[in-house]
Structure 1
Amino acid sequence: MQTVMTKNFDYGEKEINYLKNVDTVLGAAMTQMGKVERIIIPDLFAALVHAIVGQLISAKAVQTIWARMQEKLGVITPQNIAVQTALEIQSCGITMKKATCILNIAQTIEQGLLDLQELYELSDAQVIQKLSSLQGIGPWTAEMMLINCMERPDVVSWGDMAIRRGMMKLYHLDTLTKQQFEEYRRVYSPYGSVASIYLWSISFR
C-alpha cells in the first residue's frame, strides 16, 4: 500500500519567540509544552480529501477512515479517485454526501476544469473563496487546507471547535465571543498558524 506523503509544519524559534513575547499566557503554555509538531499533507488533492473526511468527526475516526481509504482505493490522486464509484468511496466509512463531494472534485480535476496548483498564487482569502465555491466545502475545510497542506503562516479558524476550546482553556473563559476570538487572532498575527497548532494541543490535554 502506497501511503500519502506527510511532513511536519515548518516553524521554529522565530515564530515561537514572537508568540511568547506578544502573549505571556500562551508563551507560558508553549514553554511548558515544548515544540509541538503538526503533521501536514503537502499534496493538495490528498489534503483536500483528508479535510473533507475530517468534517465533523473526531481525529481518531479520521485516522481509521484515512487508512482504510488508502488500503481500498490505492493512492489518493484525482486519477485514481475519479474512476471509483461514490459507493466504493462511501464504503470506507464516510457519508454518501462526502463520498459524492470527493468523487465530483476528482472528476472536475480530471476533466481539466479545476487546477488546484493555482491555489498557490492566491491570498488566504482567495483560497477560501475558491475552495468554498466547490460543493461540500466551506470556510473551515478551506482553512484546514491553508494550515494542513499549504503551510500558510497566519490562520486561526473560528469555525474550528478545538481551537475555540483551546482558547477557552488557555485563558480560563466560560464562553468565547467572536470579538474576543478576533482580538486574540490579531495578537497572534502574523504567526497565527503556530498559535493554532498549540491551541489544538491545549484543547486535547
Structure 2
Amino acid sequence: MPKVRTKSYDYGQTEIDSLTAADPVMGEALTRLGRLERVVIPDLFAALIHAMVGQLISAKAAQTIWERLQDRCGEMTAQRLAGLSADEIQRCGMTMKKAVSIHNIARLVAQGDVHLDELRDMSDQEVIAKLTALPGVGRWTAEMLLIHSLERPDVVSWGDIAIRRGMMKPYGLETLTKEQFDRFRQRYSPHGTVASIYLWEISFE
C-alpha cells in the first residue's frame, strides 16, 4: 500500500551559524549532536491528520497508530478517510473523541468546505487561526503543521512538553516560566524551528 511521502526539514549552515552566534549554549548542542533530520510531510491533509494522531501521546504510540491508519486507508486522502467510520478510525488505537474529530475534518476537506492549500499563502498566525477553528485542532497541532508540512522557519511551541524540557536541560533550569520561554524563543529567532529540532533531541537525552 502507498505510504505518505516524506522528506527532511530543509536547513543548513546559515541557520546553525546564526543560532550558535545568538546562543552559545544552543551552539554547543548543535556541535555536539551534529546534523539532525526531521521528517516533513509535504501533503497538508496527511500532515494535519498526522499531527492530530500525535496529540497528547508519545511519539512511539503515535507512530504505531499512524501506521495502522495508513494501512486501513490505503491512501491518506480526505476522500479515503471520510469513507471510513469514526469507529474504524478509532480501532487504529486512538480515543473516540479524536477519531470523530479526524473523521469530521476528512469530511469537510473531501466536501470542499475546507481548502487546506490556502494555508500556504497565509502568515503563521493566520494558519493557526484557520486551523484552530476546525474540530479537535488546538494551537499545538497547528504549530506542528507549520513545522512538519509548511516548513516555516521560526516556530517554537510553548505547548510542546518535550520542547520545554529540552529548553530547561542545557540551561540548568528546574522550572520554565512563559516569560523565560519567550526570551529564549526571541533569542533563537528567526531560526526557531531549527532550535526546536535540537530541543526535541535534547529532551530525550
Question: In the TM superposition, what is the alpha-carbon distance from 1:118 to its structure 2 partner?
Answer: 0.1
AA matched with 2:34: G
Q: Distance in 2 between matches of 1:175 and 1:5?
A: 38
Question: In the TM superposition, what is the alpha-carbon distance from 1:135 to its structure 2 partner?
Answer: 1.0
**What is the aligned-residue RMSD (CA, Å)?**
0.6
Question: In the TM superposition, what is the alpha-carbon distance from 1:152 to its structure 2 partner?
Answer: 0.1
- With normalisation by structure 1, the TM-score equals 0.99
Q: Distance in 2 between matches of 1:120 and 1:39?
A: 18
AA matched with 1:79: Q
AA matched with 1:160: D
Count, aligned residues: 205
Q: Deviations for 1:50-74, whole angstroms, at most 9, x for unmatched residues?
A: 0000000000001111111111221
The match for 1:136 is 136
The match for 2:169 is 169
User: Within 5 Å, which residues of 2 pair with 1:113-128?
Assistant: 113-128=113-128
User: Within 5 Å, which residues of 2 pair with 1:24-103?
Assistant: 24-103=24-103
The match for 2:203 is 203
Q: Structure 2 stretches of 5 or more lacking a match? A: none
Q: Deviations for 1:69-100, whole angstroms, at most 9, x for unmatched residues?
A: 11122111001011110001111001111111
AA matched with 1:192: G
AA matched with 1:29: A
AA matched with 1:204: F
Question: In the TM superposition, what is the alpha-carbon distance from 1:147 to its structure 2 partner?
Answer: 0.3
The match for 1:178 is 178
Identity %: 60
The match for 2:147 is 147
Name whichever of 68-77 and 187-196 sits farther off.
68-77
Q: Distance in 2 between matches of 1:185 and 1:44?
A: 26
Q: Distance in 2 between matches of 1:69 and 1:114?
A: 22
- With normalisation by structure 2, the TM-score equals 0.99
Question: In the TM superposition, what is the alpha-carbon distance from 1:9 to its structure 2 partner?
Answer: 0.3
> Which 4+ residue blocks in structure 1 deviate beyond 3 angstroms?
none
Q: Structure 1 stretches of 5 or more lacking a match? A: none
Q: Distance in 1 between matches of 2:114 and 2:193?
A: 27
